[in-house]
A = this chain, B = another copy of it.
Amino acid sequence: MEKIRILIAGFGNVGRGVVAALKRNPDMELAGIISRSPERVRKEITDVPVLHYDDVAGFLSLKADVAILCGGSKNDLPLQGPRMARYMNTVDSFDNHSRVPEYFHSMDDAAKKGCHVSIISTGWDPGIFSLERTLGGAFLPGSRAYGFYGLGPKGGLSMGHSDALRTIPGVVDARQFTHAIPEALDRVRKGENPAFEPGDMHTRECFVVAAPDADKGEIEKTIKSMPGYFAPYKTVVNFVSQEELNEKYKGFPHDGTVAAAGVTGEGNSAAIEYRCVWGSNPEATASVLVAHARAAARLFAEGRKGAFTILDIPPAYFSMLDHEELLAHWI
């Protein structure tokens, strides 16, 4: 069997994760990387071609089957996604939940025009969690599916909130860990289907390196009053040294739980829960994206075209195993 050839578009933490994940998927291989700063990437990657994002003839000549788009949802994907979908099959982790319908239709148009398959908004959330929410609603009608993040002792590192902290004057560096409130999860498990406000489910813990001359009181006040990001939450701000931040709060740990509970029959309780715990959030996301690239290649081979989400794909398409093997040992 010929291997599925993967092009990585954008080389940050998720792009690095894709390189690592491909080594665990023997039916796939890395064809090349495209980036806006190929020189930077070439310092790290020497065994495959690294081309400029605008070198279309160049990257098409690599004959990759699927491009995994690792750019950001805010500035990169809204333009990069439809552009790439015209040229080849794509997979991405577009995670701006409120703009998913708009992005889906823009990708659907582009992919149909290019006769390609584009799988959007996948990874673990959106992605696996979207799937588990939908299955919860379908298998337990009347239940509501809730997402909790950072149940483990460390909590979950939020990149978006860490970035928000670093925009504050006087902040040199910062990382934000989200913690789920266990009592809120208990209420969901009991089938209460509560009407939570954002601050009822999670708290936020900030580790901030302040500039020597900065007013820490002012920084703390600014953080705690940031609308959307921190104001609705119980927020703890810890000032630490850069060394402490680098040593004690390094890496990208994250974890999450989707929980739904309802009743069957005349009132028998029924509860379902999906949980994942990742030592590295971007590597886990990348591992899920790679399985979706396999599905994209298969859908394309069947002559399908347009945009797909995880909800539109038969789960067997994610697996390396053939159908007879799945029937014999996995059902």
Contact = CB atoms under 8 A, between A and B. Distances in A.
Interface of A: 16-17, 20-21, 24-25, 97, 100-101, 104, 121, 126, 128, 130-135, 137-142, 251, 263-266, 268-280, 283-284, 286-288, 291, 294, 309-316, 318-321, 324, 326-328, 330-331
Q: Which of A138, A283, A310 has the most CB of B within 10 A?
A: A138
Nearest to A121: B331
B291 A278 contact: no
Nearest to A272: B276
B312 A313 contact: no
A265 B324 CA distance: 30
Given A134-B319, A264-B286, 14 more contacts: A17-B264, A25-B141, A100-B328, A100-B331, A101-B324, A128-B139, A134-B326, A138-B294, A268-B280, A270-B283, A272-B275, A273-B274, A309-B331, A310-B315
Contact of A287 (B100, B270, B313, B331): B270
Given A101-B328, A328-B100, A315 B134 contact: yes
A315 B318 contact: no
7 contacts: A25-B141, A100-B327, A121-B331, A128-B139, A134-B319, A137-B320, A313-B314
